[in-house]
Structure 1
Amino acid sequence: MPLPAAFHDIAKRVNNWGRWGPDDEIGTLNLITPEVVREAVATVRTGRRVPLALPLQQDGVQTGLIPGRVNPLHTMTAINHEIFGPGTVAHTDDAVTMGLQAATHWDGLTHVSHSGRLYNNRPADSVTAQGGAAFLGVEKLPPIVTRGVLLDVARVRAGSDGWLDAGHVVTPEDLDAAEEAAGTKVRAGDVVLVRTGQIRHYLAGDKQAYGFPSPGLSIRTPEWFHARDVAAVANDTLTFEMFPPEVPDLWLPVHALHLVEMGMLQGQNWNLEELARACAEEDRWSFLLSAMAEPFTGGSGTPVAPVAVL
Structure 2
Amino acid sequence: MNQRWQNRPEGSNWGDFGPDDQLGRVNLLTQEQVLKGVREVREGKVFCLSLPLDMPGGMVLNPRRKPPRLAATERDGVPYMNFSMQNLDPSSIDVLSDDQVTLSLQYSTQWDALAHVGAQFDVDGSGQASKVYYNGYRAGEDVLDAPDHEHDDNGCCGASQSFGARKLGIENFAVKGMQGRGVLVDFVRHYGHERTVIGYKELTEVMDADGVQVEQGDMLVLRTGFAETVLSMKGNPDADTLHNSGAVLDGADTRLLEWVTESGIAAICADNYAVEAYPARSQGDKKSLLPLHHHCLFKLGLPLAELWYLRDLAQWLSDNQRNRFLLTAPPLRLPRAVGSPVTPIATV
Fold in common (TM above 0.5): yes
| Pick aligned residue for 1:134 from 166, 170, 173 | 166
C-alpha change, 1:85 and 1:131, in structure 2 (3 Å) is: same
Structure 1 segment 15-30 matched on structure 2, within 5 A: 15-30=12-27
Partner Cα separation in structure 2 for residue 27 and residue 210 of structure 1: 36
Q: Secondary structure at the match of 2:261?
A: helix
Which residue is 2:4 aligned to? none
- 1:244-303 CA-to-partner distances (Å, cap 9, x unmatched) read 423377411111111010101001101111111111111101000011111111000011
Which residue is 1:85 aligned to? 89
Q: Conserved in 1, the CA contact under 8 Å of 2:61 and 2:239?
A: no
Which residue is 2:155 aligned to? none
Which residue is 2:321 aligned to? 283
| Pick aligned residue for 1:101 from 106, 117, 135 | 106
The offset of 1:67, in angstroms, is 4.5
Q: Conserved in 2, the CA contact under 8 Å of 1:61 and 1:103?
A: no
Q: Conserved in 1, the CA contact under 8 Å of 2:272 and 2:306?
A: yes
Which residue is 1:257 aligned to? 295
Partner Cα separation in structure 2 for residue 302 and residue 295 of structure 1: 9
The offset of 1:122, in angstroms, is 0.9
C-alpha change, 1:65 and 1:172, in structure 2 (3 Å) is: closer
Equivalenced residues, count: 292
Q: Which runs of no fewer than 5 residues in structure 2 stay unpaired?
A: 1-8, 74-79, 121-130, 147-161
For normalisation by structure 2, the TM-score amounts to 0.79
Partner Cα separation in structure 2 for residue 184 and residue 217 of structure 1: 17
Which residue is 2:344 aligned to? 306
Q: Conserved in 2, the CA contact under 8 Å of 1:117 and 1:123?
A: yes
Indicate the percent of aligned positions where both proteins have the same amino acid: 33
Q: Which runs of no fewer than 5 residues in structure 1 stay unpaired?
A: 1-10
Partner letter of residue 246 of structure 1? Answer: R
Partner letter of residue 208 of structure 1? Answer: A
| Pick aligned residue for 1:12 from 10, 13, 18 | 10
Which residue is 1:4 aligned to? none
Structure 1 segment 235-254 matched on structure 2, within 5 A: 235-247=270-282, 250-254=288-292
C-alpha root-mean-square deviation of aligned residues, in Å?
1.9
Which residue is 1:7 aligned to? none
The offset of 1:44, in angstroms, is 0.7
| Pick aligned residue for 1:208 from 221, 225, 239 | 239
Q: Conserved in 2, the CA contact under 8 Å of 1:179 and 1:186?
A: no
Which residue is 1:233 aligned to? 268
Which residue is 2:211 aligned to? 183
Q: Secondary structure at the match of 1:251?
A: coil
The offset of 1:171, in angstroms, is 1.1
Q: Secondary structure at the match of 2:276?
A: coil
For normalisation by structure 1, the TM-score amounts to 0.88
Q: Conserved in 2, the CA contact under 8 Å of 1:199 and 1:210?
A: no
Q: Conserved in 1, the CA contact under 8 Å of 2:60 and 2:238?
A: no
Which residue is 2:77 aligned to? none
Q: Conserved in 1, the CA contact under 8 Å of 2:185 and 2:212?
A: no
Name which one, 1 or 2, has greater alpha-carbon Rg.
Answer: 2
**1:69 lines up with 2:107 in the alignment:** no
Q: Conserved in 1, the CA contact under 8 Å of 2:47 and 2:312?
A: yes
Q: Secondary structure at the match of 2:56?
A: coil
Which residue is 1:124 aligned to? 139
Q: Conserved in 1, the CA contact under 8 Å of 2:165 and 2:336?
A: yes
Partner letter of residue 258 of structure 1? Answer: C
